[in-house]
A = this chain, B = another copy of it.
Amino acid sequence: MKHLKTLAFDMDEVITDTLAKKIAVLNDLFHRNVTKEDFLGSRNLDLSKEQSKILFNEINKEGFFRDLEFLEKDTRAILEELNEKYDIYICTAAMEVPNSLQDKYLWLKENLPFLNDQNFVFCGDKSVLATDYLVDDSLYQLEEFKGEGILFTAPHNQLNNEHSFTRLNNWQEVADYFL
């Protein structure tokens, strides 16, 4: 498969709807009524230091990343189609939440069984990746990346237009761009 272009996808907020579970957990913990709109333009809420720590501990518990939903209902089908034309890599920043490592592996094996697990990359800084493309919601990671970075829209980056990356807003746009 080495002749194919290599196409890397971030996991959280690109393949999986991690934010939805984070919101459910924090609403439950702190009796809040937060929605995704509260994350427009920012990754963080008005949590106290203590609350942020409690929330992190919940997210870093084994199991948090095991039962995430796909971000969109056609994410899986489009990945399966892309997998015919590209050498697909899943490149996820996992080192800040070390207890997510095993969950992320098991999630990928269960939910995207057609992918080659030799192409799973659990890393920190994505400047280490040598793929042709990276689709990611993090401007920081895209700025470090050496190939062609594609910004995938998420609430936290939605208001930021001062950057030099192609923006794709949803999986249909990913399909249109790459297929």
Interface residue ranges, A against B (CB under 8 Å)? 2, 6, 8, 89, 91, 94-95, 98-99, 101-102, 105-106, 109, 116-125, 127-131, 146
Give 19 CB contacts A-B under 8 Å. A2-B127, A6-B128, A89-B128, A95-B117, A95-B118, A98-B105, A98-B106, A101-B101, A101-B102, A102-B102, A117-B124, A119-B124, A119-B128, A120-B123, A121-B123, A121-B124, A122-B122, A128-B130, A129-B130
Checking B102, B109, B124, B146 against A130 with a beta-carbon cut-off of 8 angstroms, the contacting residue is B146
A101 touches B122 (CB 8 A): yes
* CB-CB nearest in chain B for A94: B122
A138–B98 Cα gap in the complex (Å)? Answer: 26
A98–B102 Cα gap in the complex (Å)? Answer: 7
CB distance from A31 to the nearest CB of B (A): 32
Shortest 9 CB-CB contacts between residues of A and residues of B:
A118-B124, A101-B101, A130-B130, A122-B122, A118-B125, A121-B123, A95-B117, A98-B105, A95-B120
A149–B170 Cα gap in the complex (Å)? Answer: 39
Q: Which residues of B contact A119 (CB under 8 A)?
A: 124-125, 128
A117–B131 Cα gap in the complex (Å)? Answer: 21
A121 touches B117 (CB 8 A): no
CB distance from A120 to the nearest CB of B (A): 5
CB distance from A171 to the nearest CB of B (A): 23
A146–B146 Cα gap in the complex (Å)? Answer: 14
Q: Which residues of B contact A116 (CB under 8 A)?
A: 124
A99–B109 Cα gap in the complex (Å)? Answer: 13
Q: Which residues of B contact A2 (CB under 8 A)?
A: 127
B121 touches A122 (CB 8 A): yes
CB distance from A66 to the nearest CB of B (A): 13
